[in-house]
Homo-oligomer: A and B are copies of this chain.
Amino acid sequence: MALKAQVIYDFTAEPGNNELTVKEGETITITNQNIGGGWIEAQNSRGEVGLVPEDYIELGKQFPAFQGAATTTPTPSVGNVASSDLAFFDAYAPASTPATNQVDAGGLSPQPDTPDTPVSPYISSPDEASNGNDPWSVWNADPSGGSNNNWASNPEGTQTGKTAADPWSSVSQGHPQAYQGPGAEDDEWDDEWDDMKSTGGYAESESGESGAMQRGGAHASMKIKFPGFSKSGPELYLLCKQIAKGKDKLPIYIGEVGPVWSYPEPQLDCVVADPKKGSKMYGLKSYIEYQITPSNTNRTVNHRYKHFDWLYERLLDKFGSAIPIPSLPDKQVTGRFDEEFIKMRMERLQGWMTRMCRHPIVSSSEVFQLFLTYKDEKDWKMGKRKAEKDETVGVMIFTTIEPEAPDLDPTEVEQKCEQFSRFTKAMDDGVKEILTVGNEHWKRCTGPLPKEYQRIGKAFQNLSSVFTSSGYQGESTLTDAMTAAGKTYEEIAQLVAEQPRKDLHFLMETNNEYKGLLGCFPDTIGVHKAAIDKWKEADKLVATSKITPQDKGTMAKRVSTMSYSLQAEMNHFHSNRIYDYNRVMQLYLEEQVKFYETIAAKLRQAHGQFTTM
């Protein structure tokens, strides 16, 4: 007897991808449970066979005999994370994440409200704006400012529930699983660790692999994967006996603007281009591969989104305490083979890569260089394994930092830290305001405004048609001119509707990127605050003989090192910010000037056709 299943969420098949569209409530027959990657093969009542996400169905729901099987189907599963811990992680979920707990050690729930309509990256109707598949939805600042906000941990912010002043307050009771990495076994490379698993996110509950569906700037994953990221985190560094020596040292110099990283010359750059569709599982599953060409080798390497994701996880683990590592562009289940979606994802991956290339520490790191310059699969696999075994991660990154400057007083360290916290919070507000306003402007420019210009154009043309019917001599100069004026307004309608893609788009993308980047600061700054707090306890710890007076001196020195690191990072951030905003404002205004000049020229031409006798 065939295994039956009940569909619990609507699922729309990607064309040409061997998938099966199913509707909630439909009963399907499982034809192959061993597809893997979170998929099963099923047949519907019309006899059509195709792949369906495992988590969209419930086995034997209407067939009590199979109830046992259903319990083994993780739908929706939270893996082996205790629910009490999830409440904490939930508070750190990005604002745009649905209520389900999407932490990397937990199970990834599919989004039940995934719409059937194809995903346009420029969706602008208010109905669709809140939809999870609208890539612009990330532009909408969360007006509630609730607990789903990284900034809740900010001293000035509201502290809700378990999200106390210290964002890591409950991490110590956190998750037992350390991050193993998807490539722990290399033979998974082309099988289990497939695109679906990583970007579709259906099988995460079993592997415990990372993959928040929408990161939105919050390092939800960071808090559980790396043991150092607990309340005791900073101590690990502050009190560690051995400071690694060797060529991996990260010096900090005092430049004109203060502490600065050492910047390599020439600056690394890369081009992300030519997304190509590949397939595997004997053509059953497809994925998109991007061609990345770094400026140092000028040799192209291929990577899928999940490889970027792997890199992101490595960078976050290694540098996240010292350097805000912005999230990758959002993952997306449906519409991921849409040309428009692929184009936008590529553009955002390019933006992310450019930002990483521009960072002197990140771009020089071994793992980043591996990603850009691996020679062959063997090279890649070996590099991967090495990167995943790197122990200089979390707060231990500070062991490699060597400021060439006198130690700072912890009070000064604290003041600087608070200043950075205030600034990044304020900038986050400012950026979100631009995103909100820009989003509304986008809607108006692509919705009611061009419609109105079109109607004006039509009204002129209609009146012109009436005039033509007058039978009066010498009418044609006026009617030709009025028709031309009408057409001009129709052209203006089109210009208005197309303009946001030419200018507002980049303003939005840049601010969106900064929103993501700024969303990392509460975590990064939090590590510093925790270290300062720990240093403040030093006297007590000495008194209770938990540490020696010498340890206290070491702590002060290391807090100073951390501060130099944060200052260098802030100066890097400021310098990039000034460049980025100058550039994007120039681009925006340049295109705006062109836009208004084009309209003026068109109208001038239309004007010239009229004559006063």
Contact A607-B582, Cβ < 8 Å, known A448-B444, A469-B426, A473-B256? no
Q: Does A340 touch B at the CB level, under 8 Å? A: no
A504 CB to closest chain B CB, in angstroms? 10
Q: Quick check: B452 and A433 within 8 Å, CB to CB? A: no
A568 CB to closest chain B CB, in angstroms? 13
Q: Does A603 touch B at the CB level, under 8 Å? A: yes
Contact A470-B434, Cβ < 8 Å, known A596-B596, A603-B593, A610-B582? no
Against B, the Cβ 8 Å flags (1 = close, 0 = not) of A598-609 are: 011001101100
Closest to A608 in B: B589
Q: Is the interface of A mostly helix, strand, loop or mixed?
A: helix
A609 CB to closest chain B CB, in angstroms? 9
Q: Quick check: A589 and B610 within 8 Å, CB to CB? A: yes
> Roughly how many angstroms separate A117 CA and B285 CA in the complex, as a whole number?
68
Which chain B residues border A613 with CB–CB below 8 Å? 579, 582
> Roughly how many angstroms separate A440 CA and B604 CA in the complex, as a whole number?
24
> Roughly how many angstroms separate A478 CA and B455 CA in the complex, as a whole number?
40
Most chain B CB within a 10 A radius of its CB, from A431, A433, A577, A590: A433
> Roughly how many angstroms separate A583 CA and B589 CA in the complex, as a whole number?
34
**Contact check: which of B437, B571, B582 meets A611 at CB < 8 Å?**
B582
Most chain B CB within a 10 A radius of its CB, from A448, A575, A581: A581
Q: Quick check: A462 and B449 within 8 Å, CB to CB? A: no
Q: Quick check: A571 and B472 within 8 Å, CB to CB? A: yes
Q: Quick check: A578 and B474 within 8 Å, CB to CB? A: yes
Q: Quick check: B596 and A600 within 8 Å, CB to CB? A: yes
Against B, the Cβ 8 Å flags (1 = close, 0 = not) of A444-476 are: 100011001001101110110111011111110
Which chain B residues border A571 with CB–CB below 8 Å? 472
Which chain B residues border A452 with CB–CB below 8 Å? 437, 440-441, 444
Q: Does A385 touch B at the CB level, under 8 Å? A: no
**Contact check: which of B434, B600, B610 meets A585 at CB < 8 Å?**
B610
- Residues of A that sit less than 8 Å from B by CB: 256-257, 419, 422-423, 426-427, 429-431, 433-434, 437-438, 440-441, 444, 448-449, 452, 455-456, 458-460, 462-463, 465-467, 469-475, 477-478, 481-482, 485, 570-571, 574-575, 577-579, 581-583, 585-586, 589-590, 592-593, 596-597, 599-600, 603-604, 606-607, 610-613
List 17 interface pairs A-B (beta carbons < 8 Å), by A numbering. Answer: A257-B474, A422-B469, A423-B469, A423-B470, A433-B458, A440-B455, A444-B449, A444-B452, A463-B581, A467-B581, A472-B578, A478-B581, A579-B613, A582-B611, A586-B607, A593-B600, A596-B600
4 tightest A-B CB contacts, nearest first: A589-B607, A596-B600, A430-B463, A472-B574
